[in-house]
A and B are shown apart, each in its own frame.
Chain A
Amino acid sequence: MIFLRRQVPLLITLVTGLVFAVQYYVPHPASEQMLTSVTKWLQIIGGFALVLGVSSLFHVHAMKIRRKEVGWGYSFVLYVSMLGTIAVGLWSNGKEAIDGAMTSFGWIYNFMMVPLQGTMFAILAFFIASAAYRSFRARSREATVLLIAAIIVMMGRVPLGEYLIPLSGDLSQWILNVLNASVRRAILIGVSLGTVALSIKIIFGMERSYLGGGKE
């Protein structure tokens, strides 16, 4: 049973990992056809992954409602809004608009989902301002460098800043194109090396956390 539960999955990872790493260097039609098929498969599997992702949310809120935990009313709102959206969505054939005319599903999307999600992220503007006021202090040489760079970029990326201090535009451009780019490049190279190393460890079974815990 251990063979089926542990060795076979590791073997699947090893074989698929090696095959698709090598595939990149083999432009043979058969190899390309294999890539075409598997990427299509991944699209379909991606759909199941989305279902898996949201299903834990069903469970958590269903438990809250069943046990009448604190704030279960909000979970009820969540459930009703979710089921309502699904019902309306299916009734509208999953389309927000048909030939440019908004459907009921499109109405929920445009007048509920878009403003809700947009505003949820928009309020961060207030919190970033408050955080800047409370913690953006020149406590050390490094913090001072950070602060000055931030101020130059904030000035240089808006018309008023460029109008008041004309040099700020060019200076922020240089910071972004040269200093920032070099740091981002170093981070990109470092992270990529890490990604490749991790992928190799996964393929050869040295990293197995993706298999999850539970019984062998």
Chain B
Amino acid sequence: MTFAERMLKIDRRLIFLVIGLCTLLPLLYPVGLPIKISPEVRGVYDYMESLPEGSVFLLSLDFDPASKPELHPQSLSLLRHAFRKNLRVVAMTLWVSGTGMADQVVTQVAREMGKENGKDYVFLGWSPGGTAVIMNMGQDLYGAFPVDYSGKPTKGLPVLQGVTNLRDVNYAISLGAGNPGVEAWYVFGKDKYKFELGGGCTGVMAPGLYPLLRSGQINGLIGGLRGAAEYETLIGQKGKAIAGMDAQSSTHLAIIVLVILCNLFYFSVRRQVKHQGHSGL
């Protein structure tokens, strides 16, 4: 067996080790390379900036713990930005297993910014039905969520004053890890109720949302941990996303090197086989 053949058949646990080290070392010893802002993330930021004080901002945290590392930093940054702008924040989730996380992030940022539950923000919690919840909110927000997460009736909450349905929302952002997520909020929400919509999503979903971005159906897109890092840079508050960018860089580079190496070995083996074939003739 030649060297190239042996390298093509190496124990996969060695590759695991390389990836593990490439992730761990930059987290322990960060470099802090500058992060360039993409137009899609700027789209969300600029719209948030343009909203006047007291505007209604709906944040739907449509993800579960499996996508926490990507979407949790996005939600932290967006909430910090919204509270800093004194927007009225209405948070919710369409994913049952994300309820606890969503409550935690909203409460944490609200406390950090000195905001009051019911007056400056409300966490509506989770309700089943996915797209049906969006449509029902479009018809009657209080029917979809008669009480908030803590069990308080939503009708009469100062934060929801003047809000009857999704038409009264100035800006909505869905941080989606799948379905229901950004697309559902467009199809079953914005299409009929005409509120402005932005999106945040996992890296896996991001390429699929570009058609909606191009056509203006969503006015911005925060994609994965990189998008979160860009938003953290924009609001000037470093968090876990920026801290993770060095590790992201090194793992990407490791995979690129691995792919190049595997191709080098592959072509070397192929050339050898061809050569042997010719000499055999």
Contacts and interface: CB of A to CB of B under 8 A. Distances in A.
Partners in one complex: yes
Interface of A: 24, 32, 35-36, 39-40, 42-47, 49-50, 95-100, 106, 109-110, 113-115, 117-118, 120-122, 125-126, 128-130, 132-134, 136-138, 147, 150-151, 154-155, 157-163, 169, 173, 176-177, 180-181, 184-185, 188
Given A24-B192, A46-B129, A155-B252, 6 more contacts: A43-B144, A117-B66, A120-B66, A121-B67, A151-B259, A180-B207
A129 B255 contact: yes
Interface stretch (B42-50, B80-88, B93-101): B93-101
In the A-B complex, the 8 residue pairs with the closest CB atoms? A160-B249, A42-B132, A46-B129, A46-B128, A159-B33, A96-B100, A43-B129, A39-B136
B208 A184 contact: yes
Contacts of A44: 128-129
Given A129-B258, A132-B259, A188-B211, A43 B65 contact: no
Interface in B1-49: 8, 12, 15-16, 18-20, 23, 33-36, 38-39
A39 B218 CA distance: 24
Contact of A161 (B130, B139, B208, B252): B252
Given A40-B136, A40-B144, A117-B66, A169 B262 contact: no
B111 interface: yes
A59 B237 CA distance: 49
Given A100-B107, A136-B259, A158-B252, A43 B100 contact: no
A184 B213 CA distance: 12
Given A113-B65, A120-B66, A130 B132 contact: no
- Chain B interface SS verdict (over half): helix
Contacts of B263: 136-138, 147
A190 to B, nearest CB: 12
A39 B64 CA distance: 24
B266 interface: yes
Interface in B82-131: 96-97, 99-101, 103-104, 107, 111, 127-130
A151 B256 contact: yes
B61 interface: no
B150 A98 contact: yes
B262 A97 contact: no
A64 to B, nearest CB: 24
Nearest to A151: B256
B271 to A, nearest CB: 13
Contact of A129 (B39, B254, B266): B254
Interface in B249-274: 249-256, 258-259, 261-263, 266
12 contacts: A36-B143, A40-B136, A40-B143, A43-B144, A97-B104, A113-B65, A118-B69, A133-B262, A137-B262, A137-B263, A137-B266, A181-B214
